[in-house]
Chain A
Amino acid sequence: MNTELNAEAPAALECAGLRKSFAQGSAREVRAVDDLSLTVRSGETVALLGPSGCGKTTTLRLIAGFEWPDMGRVVIAGREVVGAGAFLPPERRRVGMVFQDYALFPHLTVADNVAYGLENSTVGRWTPALRRPLAALRGRFRFGSAAAAAIDARVQEALELVALPHVAGRFPHELSGGEAQRVALARALAPGPALLLLDEPFSNLDAPLRASVRSEVREILRRASTASIFVTHDQEEAFAIADRVAVQLRGRIEQVGSPVEIYHRPATRSVAAFVGEADFLPGTLTSDGVETEIGRIPIEDDSGAAAGSVDVMLRPERVQLAAAGATGPGHGQAVVERREFYGHDQLVTLRLDSGARIRARLGPDADFPPGRRASVFATGAGIVYPPLSGAQGPVLGE
C-alpha cells in the first residue's frame, strides 16, 4: 500500500457533508447522496462499492463537477472546488475521468484523443479536427514547435504507459474493447490529473477479458501513482484493485476500510449482507462467545456489543458439516434443502431444526444431497449485531 509512503502529502480528495437530491421538493424526491464524507490519500486507489441506484455514480459526478451538490464541500489536492458559494467548473478541477462507455471522441484519432487534454494552453486548442487535414496538406504539420513537440512526447508517453503506442493513428471504432478502455485511461492520465475517477470501468468488457484488463489497470494506476476512485457494484472487482473500499448504501457511506476489514468485520448488518454471503443466527452474548443453536461461537474482540440477545453473522465458508447425528461441542442438527455445485466449491443451504436457514460453502468432494440430515458447526470467530427490532426469526442474508 502506498498510503504510508505519502502520509505527509495533502490528501488528493476530501469530501465533507456532501448531499444531493433529485426531484427536490416533489413527492418523488430521491436523496442520491446523503451526508457523504470521504478522504482519498495521495497515490491511493479507493473503490466506491454499492448496489445499483445507491448514488455512487452521482458521488463521482459531484466530485468531477458535472452536478452541483445541495450541500457540502469538495477539496481536491488542497484546493476547494465546491464549498460555500464556490463552484469550479469541471475543466478547472484537474480531475481525470474514465467513463463507463469510455466516451472516446469518435471523430479524432487515438493520438488526438489523448492530446485533447494537453492542448488547452497552446495554439492548437481550437483545431484538433483541422490538424489532420492540415497535416495532410503540408506533409508534416507542426503547430507551435516546442509546445507541439512536448505534447507529442506526452501523448507517446501516455500511450506507452498503457502499452498501446502502436494504435496512435487509429480511430476509436478501430479499437477492441480492452484497447478502448486503456486509451480512455491514457487520455485521462495524460494531463497529469490530481485525481482520477473511473465509472464502472470494467462493466462493458466480457467476463474473460475483464480479469486481465483489471490487473493491467491496477498495474497502470500503480505506476502512474495517481490517486483514484473507481465506482463498481462488483465486490470482487473492488477487493482486487483497491487499497481501500468505501461501501455506499442508499446514498450513505456505511464503512471505509481495507478489503480484509470490509469482508471480515463489516460495520453494519447491511454491509455484511451486501459484501459477500452472510447468514445471521440468533444467540445470546456471554463473556466467552455467543451461545447459538450450533454451539458457542467466539466473537472478535472489538465487537463491542452489549451482553444479551444478539444476531451473529456467519460467512458460509466458516460453516462446516459432519455426518448426521455427530454430536460434540457446537453441533446443530439440520436438513439439507438445496445444493448449488460450482465445480471448485459448492454452496449448501440447510434448515436447522429450529427453522433457521444457514449456508455452508464446502469443497467439491463433500456429498450432502438435498433431503439428507447433517450436523452443523462453525469454525473461527463471528461478528455480532443487535437483533432486528420486531423480527422474530433469524434472517437469511442476501
Chain B
Amino acid sequence: MLLPLIYLIIRALDADAAAWSALGDASSLRLVLRTALLALAVAGASLVLALPMAWLTVRTDLPLRRLWSVLAIVPLVIPSYVGAVAFIAAFGPRGTLQEILSPLGVDTVPQIYGFPGAFLALTLFSYPYLLLVLRAGLRGIDPALEDASRSLGMGSWRTFFRVTVPQLRVPITAGSLLVALYVVSDFGAVSLLRTDTLTRAIFIQYQTSFDRAAAAVLGLELVGLVALILVLEWLYRRRGRFHGAGPGTPGPPRLLRLGRWRWPALAFLAVIVLVALGVPVGVLLHWLVRGLQAGEPFAGAWGAALNSAWVSAVAGLVAVVVAIPVAIVAVRKPSPLAALVERVGYTGFALPGIVVALSLVFFGLRVVPAVYQSWVLLVFAYLVLFFPLALGGIRTSLVQIRPGIEEAARSLGGSPGRVLATITIPLLVPGLVSGFALVFLTAMKELPATLLLAPIGFDTLATEVWSASSEAFFARAAAPALILILVAALPLALLVAREHRVER
C-alpha cells in the first residue's frame, strides 16, 4: 500500500536540479495557491449551502422534508467529471443553453471554462459531503440545551446562533476539511473545465514532456498539500473532544414552525437541487436522445461498461480477500504491529488517484515492465486506492460479532481453522458483500488511475466519458455518463435501504 508513495519519492529524487528549483518559482507557487484557493472557496460556498439545508431538513416543519433530505444528498453520486461534462454540455460552447438562446439572437454565453466554472461544479457536487456531516451533527445535539436557552429568555433565532451553531463547530470544520480534501484531489472536473490546479498540471506534465520526474515533484507537492489538510483535520478533531455532546441520550428534536418562511425555504432547496441534480441528469438525457436520433452507435458504451465491470470486480474480490485477514488480526489480536498494518491499509484514503497512478506508471515502466500496460497494474492501483473501503466494511461486521461466539465454538472443540470456516466467515458475509460492492462501484467511477494505467485500447466508462467530452462529442458521452450515475447511486440506495432495515 505504501509502494506508490515510496516510489514517488524515489522518482522525485531522480529529478534534476531544474525540476526541484521550479518548485519555488512563481508559476509553481501560483499553481499551489490556485489549488488551495479553489479548495477554500469550494469549502466556504459548500458551507453556505449546506448549513441552511441541513437545518431546514432536520429541524423545521418544511413540507416534504424526507424527500428534500434525499434529493439534497443525491448529487453526491454524480462523479465530478460527469457533472463537469454535463455542465459543459449545458452551458459551454455548442451546448444546450446556447442552442436555446441562439434563435433569440444571443451568440455568446458566459465562459464556463476556468476557475469560476470549476468552483461552481465542484461546489455543487461536493456540498453533500458537508451536508451529511452537518445533518448527523444536528441530530446529535441534545434538544434540552435549546430548551434551556429558550427558557432563559432567548428567541429561536438567537438560540440557533448562540447555542446550536457553536455546537456544530466540530462537524463544520470536519466537513469543510473533507470537502477541501476532495477538491484538492479532484482531477476530472478541473481538467475538463480547464482550470490549472496541481492534479491537472501533473497530468499535462506527464503527457507532454519527457521529464516525468518533474511530474513526480508536482505529485509530491500535491501529497504535501493533502497532508497539510489531514493535519489540520486531526488538530481540529483533537480539540473537538472537549466540545463533544454531554451525557444522556438526545431526545427527538423539536421542529421549528416555518410559517410563511416556508416558501423562500422551498425555493432555496428547489434551486439547488435543480442545478445540482436536475441540470446534469436532464442535459445528459437530452444528449442521449439526440444521439439516438442521430444514429450514434452505443456498442462502444456497452463494451466499455463490460470492461469497467470486470476490472472493478477483480479489484473488489482481491480487496476483500486481502482485507479478511487484516481485519481479523486487527480486531481480534490487537498489537502494535497489527495496528500499523491496518493504518497502512488506510493510506489509500489520503493519496489522490492521480498520484497513485503516476507512481505506478513509473513503477511499471522501471521495475515490472511485464505488467505495465496490462490490467494487473490497473487492478493494483484500484486496490491501493479503495482497499480502505473493503477493510472498513469487514471491520464493522467483525466488531459486531461478539468474541464470545468464537470462544463458545472453541470450547465445544472446534479448532481455530474450523471456527473461522464455520462461524466467523459465515457471520462476516454482510461485511464481505458490502466491502466488495463499495470497492466495485468506486472503482467503476475512478478516472485518473484508469486514464493513466488502462492498457491502450482498453476503454472503460470513465475513459469513454473523458475522451468524448474533451472533444465535445456530448452525445457520445451521454450514455456512459448516465450509466456511471446509476452505478454511483447504487451504494447510496443500498445504504438507505439498510438504514431502513435497522430502524425496523
Which A residues have a C-beta under 8 Å from some C-beta of B?
64-66, 89-97, 99-101, 103-107, 116-117, 120, 125-129, 187-188, 191, 197
Contact status of A97 and B427, CB under 8 A, knowing A126-B418, A128-B422: no
Pick the contact of B426: A93, A129, A188, A197 (CB < 8 A): A129
B404 touches A99 (CB 8 A): yes
Contacts of B407 in A (CB 8 A): 64, 66, 90, 97, 99, 103
Contacts of B414 in A (CB 8 A): 91, 116-117, 120
Contacts of B409 in A (CB 8 A): 105, 116
Contact with A along B303-320 (1 / 0, CB 8 A): 000000000000000000
- Compute how far the CA of A344 lies from the CA of B243 in the bound complex, rounded to whole angstroms: 51
Contacts of A90 in B (CB 8 A): 407, 410-411
- Compute how far the CA of A222 lies from the CA of B415 in the bound complex, rounded to whole angstroms: 30
Pick the contact of A96: B412, B423, B426 (CB < 8 A): B412
Most chain-A Cβ atoms within 10 A of its Cβ — which of B404, B411, B423, B426? B411
Contacts of A104 in B (CB 8 A): 408
Tell me, yes or no, whether B322 is within 8 Å of chain A by CB: no
Contacts of B418 in A (CB 8 A): 120, 125-126
Q: List 26 A-B contacts (CB under 8 A).
A: A89-B410, A91-B411, A91-B412, A91-B413, A91-B416, A96-B411, A96-B412, A97-B407, A97-B411, A100-B404, A104-B408, A105-B405, A105-B427, A107-B427, A116-B412, A116-B414, A117-B413, A120-B413, A120-B414, A120-B418, A125-B422, A127-B422, A129-B422, A187-B408, A187-B412, A188-B412
Q: Closest chain B residue to A96 by CB distance? A: B411
Contacts of B404 in A (CB 8 A): 99-101, 103
B412 touches A117 (CB 8 A): yes
- Nearest 6 CB-CB pairings of A with B: A117-B412, A103-B404, A103-B408, A90-B410, A97-B411, A120-B413
- Compute how far the CA of A42 lies from the CA of B414 in the bound complex, rounded to whole angstroms: 25
- Compute how far the CA of A339 lies from the CA of B407 in the bound complex, rounded to whole angstroms: 47
Contact status of A91 and B408, CB under 8 A, knowing A101-B402, A128-B422, A129-B426: no
- Compute how far the CA of A104 lies from the CA of B427 in the bound complex, rounded to whole angstroms: 12
Contacts of A95 in B (CB 8 A): 411
Contact with A along B413-440 (1 / 0, CB 8 A): 1111010011100110000000000000
Contact status of A91 and B415, CB under 8 A, knowing A107-B427, A126-B422, A129-B426: yes
Contacts of B411 in A (CB 8 A): 64-65, 90-91, 93, 95-97, 188, 197
If A64-B407, A89-B416, A97-B407 are given as contacts, then 4 extra A-B residue pairs at C-beta distance below 8 Å, sorted by A number, are A89-B415, A91-B415, A99-B407, A103-B408
Contacts of A66 in B (CB 8 A): 407, 410
Contacts of A100 in B (CB 8 A): 404
A226 to chain B, nearest CB (A): 14
- Compute how far the CA of A103 lies from the CA of B403 in the bound complex, rounded to whole angstroms: 9
B residues 374-430 touching A (CB-CB < 8 Å): 402, 404-405, 407-416, 418, 421-423, 426-427
Contact status of A191 and B413, CB under 8 A, knowing A99-B408, A103-B407: yes
A107 touches B410 (CB 8 A): no
Contacts of B421 in A (CB 8 A): 126
A107 touches B426 (CB 8 A): yes
Contacts of A187 in B (CB 8 A): 408, 412
A97 touches B426 (CB 8 A): no
Most chain-B Cβ atoms within 10 A of its Cβ — which of A97, A105, A187, A188? A105
Contacts of A107 in B (CB 8 A): 426-427
- Compute how far the CA of A303 lies from the CA of B411 in the bound complex, rounded to whole angstroms: 43
Contacts of B423 in A (CB 8 A): 105
B410 touches A91 (CB 8 A): yes
Most chain-B Cβ atoms within 10 A of its Cβ — which of A93, A117, A127, A191? A117
- Compute how far the CA of A93 lies from the CA of B422 in the bound complex, rounded to whole angstroms: 20
